[in-house]
Structure 1
């Protein structure tokens, strides 16, 4: 199958570069960490990874635009393709020595993410998918298995992932979120990319997040959807720039939307 095969191959090469840089800086005694204007941390690994990815894209895809968390947007050519980069998703984990962090790489055509890759070198695992290609997980391209969401169709039987309760409180949806957690079979706050990847693998059934940016979610969309799942914002829009996310195995999506949109515009 052609389609986005070349783009996925490039994404793997970009991830190889990112993994080399980030792994060398993980738990480094001289890791340099600063606070951005929004008070979130950024390490020298974040900036080094994004710089390296941008450099490769400038050579390999000079006509494509790029949007990254650390260096913003750059426009190249006149096409509708752009790469969305989160150099280290889970920076707070990274700087504290927690191994749940990864590089997120997405390709968008217009407003639609068509290919995505998540590489978590400290976990020894990658996930990737592209429109019409399916979704896969493994240590690398040659050691991968196709992944699929679960068939759970009741909240009482579901394992639910969520981000911090502080975010849900700030969104005004803390009580509906707590009700979901009370009624679910199991709940865990894995957070960041990891909950979505567990969803795509069928290990959990719901992942919800009240606040995120395009680079937090763009790479996740093709993986979740090609694994048979569904991902929207809290208003039910299929819009990765919507600022929030509900990802499910599909069976539970309408129920989650109803519960979390109660009393909200």
Structure 2
């Protein structure tokens, strides 16, 4: 048994509570949506989900810290911190698109050691912890091991990204466009979903120019335990601090992707 078995079990309980709230508010006619200071949307579902998770963690893990997208940081007595994005893909959520999820991660000394992604509108969850391998299914009982692809050539690769606008703002639009030309297929699934498809072996590369800790912390254990590689654009292990970039791959393609995006590759 993994040393994080109890933490993963708790993460599933947190996701159960989150799903009950988010599903009830999805496509609700009275859904309330406001703009945050950075002009990104927040719905009453986002805040309700995070409040519910905070309440459960306060009860079950009172000594652990918590960072949530909507309500910030609660201090820890030790080195453990939960990181929560109550609804990743809020823009999809408020428009009635089913690609959104609750992201739950556990960090020890700043390193993600367990992660769970729950996408109830898709009827699917993904989870992993250090040393366990990665799994996906409707719930724990139906979970099956997942693994990244064995594709070794960019010409055969399915390439995924969040949006072209972010890469243009980062001054890296042309390298992105060239990657799209050189790969077999490119699609912008965005948010958590591209990373989970990567972990399942359905695509081979997922890249994002800028994201926050709560966007990425839960994804890292799932991708890496599925056999993939997850770094920032400079080849450093993700996540770092503050704002982060993300390059996730099946491993075989990673150095080539980093080189083509114009940053030093980790060898």
Aligned-partner SS, 1:85: strand
Q: Which residue of 2 aligns with 1:164?
A: 163
Deviation for aligned residue 1:239: 3.0
Deviation for aligned residue 1:111: 1.7
Pairing 1:28–2:25 present: no
Q: Which residue of 1 aligns with 2:99?
A: 100
List gaps (5 residues or longer) in structure 1. none
Give the whole-Å Cα distance in 2 for the aligned partners of 1:146 and 1:262: 33
Counterparts of residues 43-122 of structure 1 (less than 5 Å): 43-77=43-77, 79-122=78-121
Q: Which residue of 2 aligns with 1:41?
A: 41
Q: TM-score, normalised by structure 2?
A: 0.97
Q: TM-score, normalised by structure 1?
A: 0.98
Give the whole-Å Cα distance in 2 for the aligned partners of 1:12 and 1:144: 12
Give the whole-Å Cα distance in 1 for the aligned partners of 2:240 and 2:86: 18
Q: CA RMSD in A?
A: 1.1
Give the whole-Å Cα distance in 1 for the aligned partners of 2:262 and 2:4: 35
Q: Which residue of 1 aligns with 2:254?
A: 253
Give the whole-Å Cα distance in 2 for the aligned partners of 1:32 and 1:241: 33
Q: Which residue of 1 aligns with 2:191?
A: 192
Deviation for aligned residue 1:94: 0.1
Q: Which residue of 2 aligns with 1:127?
A: 126
Dislocated runs of 4+, deviation >3 Å = none
Q: Which residue of 2 aligns with 1:233?
A: 232
Aligned-partner SS, 2:138: strand
Deviation for aligned residue 1:262: 5.1
Give the whole-Å Cα distance in 2 for the aligned partners of 1:141 and 1:258: 38
List gaps (5 residues or longer) in structure 2. none
Residues 98-143 of structure 1: CA deviation (Å, up to 9, x unaligned): 0000000000001210000000000000000000011000000000
